[in-house]
Amino acid sequence: MADAASPDRTPPGGDQHIPVMLEQIVDLLAPALESSPETEAPILVDCTLGLGGHSAALLAACPQARLIGLDRDTQAIAAAGERLAAYADRIELVHAVYDELPEVLAERGITAVQGVLLDLGLSSLQIDRADRGFAYARDAPLDMRMDQTADLTAEEVVNSYSAAELTRILRDYGEERSARRIADAIVAQRRTEPISSSARLVQIISGAVPMALQRSGGHPAKRTFQALRIEVNHELEALRGVLPAAVAALDVGGRIAVLAYHSLEDRLVKQVLRVAASDRAPRGLPVVPPELGPELRLLTRGADRPDQTEADSNPRARSARLRAAVRIAPARGRAA
């Protein structure tokens, strides 16, 4: 494996953002992206392309690999295209949500891939662009769409959902203990004037969350903004769709790596990988038939976390949880 990147594997293209757990991602996926007599041009699917930092490092480390990069954010695709220009003959960037992976592969006649990467949550582009409305620390329109061509915005959710619907979202997607109080406050305040800015929403939330919780639970708006973002972008539904599809798309020896940033995401990732890494034989069977054996072998013991140095230098990495697995048997329905 040739490594054209610098010794710390910082990808080419400038310091636009700091990819989370970059060393670990390259170490986990690169072995599956080396060419072989069976696969001269291994395929990596980066389902969450973002600014392309992870993909740039993998393309540099694996000179025979091809990239199919997916992102629902057209601004991210444009930025990643510039970052990955040196690899233009080995990449294809696609405007798609990651749960559209089966359609993307089918349209290209691809039946199996050697690597899949999912870096969930917000990209650096979305966090840093104040006008996108994702950050509770900056005043901006309540947008929160990862795909600017989509219809649903956070402003529509805040101003049209019932108190019961808002409570459910804040409780289920934000794990917010004051969900009902916040929902009632939102409904009461929007009767006076529609809520259209992040600053006003933060003010409403701060007034609804008890001071005791504010002192111990971080910024009072953090969980509400997370919940609204997940609702607007249907993130958990998309994740439930892509995980089994990504596992099924892996060739034998192919690897998947997933970075999650909160417990809701990580719980889904853990469940899907654990099931695929377990045999399906009835309990007590003395010998497990090959067709009922595990399809994956886990490459991480639980979830790997960034070390303290990375957490200190890159605050966005602090909550990251990395899980990975390798396919050890053909997918059901696919010949060996």
Known binding residue 98? Answer is yes
Complete edge-to-edge strand list for the sheet that includes strand 321-327:
91-95, 66-71, 43-46, 113-119, 250-260, 321-327, 296-298
71 is in an annotated binding site: yes
Q: Write the CA distances from 175 to 113, 180, 190, 266, 303, integer angstroms.
A: 35, 12, 23, 14, 21
172 is in an annotated binding site: no
Asked if 247 and 256 count as a contact pair (C-beta separation under 8 A), the reply is yes
Distance (Å, rounded) from C-alpha 202 to C-alpha 155? 13
Q: Is 52 annotated as a binding residue?
A: yes
What tokens does 266 get?
A: 């990580």
Token reading at 123? 């990209």
Asked if residue 261 belongs to a known ligand binding site, the reply is no
**Does the annotation flag 115 for ligand binding?**
no
Residue 54, annotated as binding a ligand: yes
Would you call 93 exposed, middle or buried from its count of C-beta atoms within 10 A (0-12, 13-18, 19+)?
buried
Give CA–CA dist 38/242, Å, rounded. 26
Binding-site residue set: 52-54, 71, 98, 119, 126
Residues annotated within a binding site for S-adenosyl-L-methionine:
52-54, 71, 98, 119, 126
